[in-house]
Amino acid sequence: MRKILFFLTFALMVLATWMTLFYAPTEVVMGHVQRIFYFHMGTVWAATVAFTVVFVASIYYLVKETAKWDTLAYCSAEIGMLLLTLTIITGSIWAKPVWGTWWTWDPQLTTTFILWVLYAVYLVLRSGAGGRGKKARYSAIFAIIAYVDLPVVYVSARIKRGISPVVFGPGGGGIDPAMMHTLLVTLLGFTLLFVLLLGERMRIMNMENALYARSGRGG
Amino acid sequence: MRNILLIFRKDFLVEWRSKQIFPTMFVFSLLLLLVFNVAFEFRSDVDSRAVSAVIWITFIFSGLLALGRSFSLEKENNAFAFLLLTPVSRSYIYLGKLLSNVVMVLLSELFILPLFLLFFLFDASGVSFSLTGTVLPFLGVVFLGTIGFVSLGTFFSSMALNTKLRDMMLPLLVFPLIIPVVITSVGICSSILEGRPPDYYSFSLQVLVSFDIIFILLCSLLFEYLIEDSGD
């Protein structure tokens, strides 16, 4: 199962890279720079999935109080943090030639930044909470509140008008079918990559816990 | 409801007799004001946006200071453990603490506001004062914004005190979460000072009120899980 998932992810990521570079047509206005957008979307999508997993796992942990939900939440948060960092970096690389700046405080960027900070705090809280049960419970509570907070942050940041492109939905421009294919493959690829990384991270985490249990020190 | 009021009364009496939080907050706010004054060299050509920002930064910083204190008082002599022994739902304990904290923070804000007026807005140009047009809406926003950041502040101060990092943890936990309060409160306050009609900031007001309602409900729901066993 692990092997199948690994090769599937590998194949899809290679395909996504190829499609991004060669299959997708060059955007008329932005040129080749626009190609980074597929990976930008892929990472931000996977990061969103990751943080939703953290949220759901945290609720389950509070209700059931079994360690595996806490492990799931923590590992997912770590990977989500990595993906979100990549999102911000790819977004910046795109924004410099197109907007003429690395960073601007538009609603989507502000929300992304706050999301990043929230999960940085989540990880700090885990390292600074204290005992094992307390660490799990506190971080679960914080994750739930943070997840609920995020839409409110977005709405309040929207009070000022933004410049991030809206591609889909009302007001969006719609895109070329070839671009759509590329995007879908990239999204799928990153979703699988997230699942793969999550599985591996949890395996390592469980091994760590088993080792700690054997040596008699609580993690 | 009676239980909430009882906890409120207890906290208020403790504060009334010990006089720890209130003077500290007041003096701290005053010092912040002084620092801002010196740093910005505020003269008569002040910008209403900057004044609103200064007001809210002062409120939030001094407010969090008070909140950290309010739960560490409970830690002395293990008072909080006895509070938990009372046959009351944990949500009521949270709501009672919230009420007493809101009242205390609001009171000290009311004392500090006239000083702001004196230092910043006394000879500001373009700001006109009228009771219904400026003062009452302004106080209303102060009320709602304070509820917003105190609701999360109260909740997380009881969490922060039980972590290894203690007081260090509180601002870390609270600041990123109360961003909506900061954005909306500062925005509305500066609109009011500029004398804009209520339509102009009604959306911000809706966001602020929703924030208050959402997080009071969520925090009182989660408070039970937060204090399950403060022992470990």
Domain span at residue B196 reads 2-119+126-226
Going by C-alpha positions, the residue among A70, A165, A48 that lies closest to residue A116 is: A48
Sorted by sequence, the CB contacts under 8 Å of residue B185 that are 6+ apart come out as B52, B56, B141, B142, B144, B145, B148, B208
The most confident of the ranges A141-145, A153-157, B39-43 is A141-145
- Which distant-in-sequence residues (6+ apart) come within 8 Å of A49 by Cβ? A191, A194
List of residues 6+ apart from B57 with CB closer than 8 A: B32, B36
Nearest to A114 among B179, B210, B222 (CB): B179
In a domain, A73, yes or no: yes
Quote the number of domains for chain B: 1
Work out the average pLDDT over A153-170. Answer: 66
First CA to last CA across chain A, in angstroms?
Answer: 29
Kindly determine whether residue A156 and residue B152, on different chains, have CB atoms separated by under 8 Å. no
Kindly write down the DSSP assignment for every residue of A8-53, as one continuous string: HHHHHHHHHHHIIIIISPPBTTTBGGGGHHHHHHHHHHHHHHHHHH
Does residue B191 lie within any of the structural domains? yes
Predicted-complex ipTM score: 0.85
Q: Please check whether residue B41 lies inside any domain of the structure.
A: yes
Q: Is A157 on the interface with B (CB under 8 A)?
A: yes
Tens digit of each residue's pLDDT (9 = 90 or more) over B4-45: 888 788 777 877 777 777 888 888 888 988 888 888 776 656
In-domain check, residue B106: yes
Lowest mean pLDDT among A18-32, A119-133, B124-138, B208-222: B124-138
Listed in sequence order, the DSSP H helices in A65-106 are 67-99
Q: Which chain A residues contact residue B188 at CB under 8 A?
A: none
Q: Is A15 inside a domain boundary?
A: no
Residue A27's DSSP bridge partners are A31
Distance between CA atoms of residues A122 and A142, nearest Å: 7
A69 within some domain: yes
Mutate to test the interface with A, among B177, B223, B226 (most CBs of A within 10 A): B177
Interchain contact A52–B (C-beta under 8 A):
no
A162 SS3 class: coil
- Report yes or no on B150 lying in a domain: yes
Q: Percent of chain A scored above 70 by pLDDT? A: 90
d(CA B63, CA B41): 25
In a domain, B232, yes or no: no
Taking alpha carbons only, the member of A147, A162, A168 closest to residue A108 is A162
Short-list B201, B198, B152, B140, CA closest to B179: B152
Using CA coordinates, name the residue in chain B closest to A151: B180
Binding-face residues of A in 92-131 toward B, CB within 8 A: 114, 117-118, 121, 124-125, 128-131
Query: Number of folded domains in chain A?
Result: 1
Q: What are phi and psi of A31, to 5 degrees?
A: 80, -155
- Is position B231 within any domain? no
- Distance, in Å, from the CA atom of A27 to the CA atom of A94, rounded to the nearest integer, reads 13
Between positions 183 and 202 of A, the ones with CB within 8 A of B are none
Looking at residue B230, what is its pLDDT? 47
pLDDT band (50, 70, 90) for residue B194:
confident
Tens-digit pLDDT profile for residues B57-94: 999 998 888 888 777 777 776 777 777 777 778 888 88
Task: State which residues form the domain around A116.
Answer: 34-161+176-215
Q: Which helix (H) or strand (E) holds B199?
A: none
With a cut of 90, say whether residue A6 has pLDDT above it: no
Contacts of A134 in chain B (CB under 8 A): 162-163, 232
Q: Which of A129, A141, A144 sits opposite B163 (nearest CB)?
A: A129
A42-64 pLDDT, tens digit per residue, is 888 999 999 999 999 999 999 98
A137 touches chain B (CB under 8 A): yes
The answer to whether the CB atoms of A114 and B164 lie below 8 A apart is no
Q: How many CB atoms lie within 10 A of CB B164?
A: 13
Instruction: Identify whether A4 is part of a domain.
Output: no
A185: closest CA of chain B, how far (Å): 34
Is A152 near chain B, with CB under 8 Å? yes
The Cα–Cα gap between B199 and B137 comes to: 13
User: What is d(CA A140, CA A135) in angstroms, rounded to the nearest whole number?
Assistant: 8
Q: Which of A122, A149, A154, A161 to mutate to test the interface with B (most CBs of B within 10 A)?
A: A149
Residues of B with Cβ-Cβ distance to A141 under 8 angstroms:
159, 222, 225-226
Query: Residues A68-116: pLDDT tens digits?
Result: 899 999 999 999 999 999 999 988 888 888 888 888 888 888 888 999 9
Of A166, A89, A156, the residue nearest B203 (C-alpha): A156
pLDDT value for A78: 92
Residue B169 lies in a domain: yes
Residues of B whose CB is below 8 A from A121: 172-173, 176
DSSP type of residue B120: I
Neighbours of A34 (CB within 10 A): 19
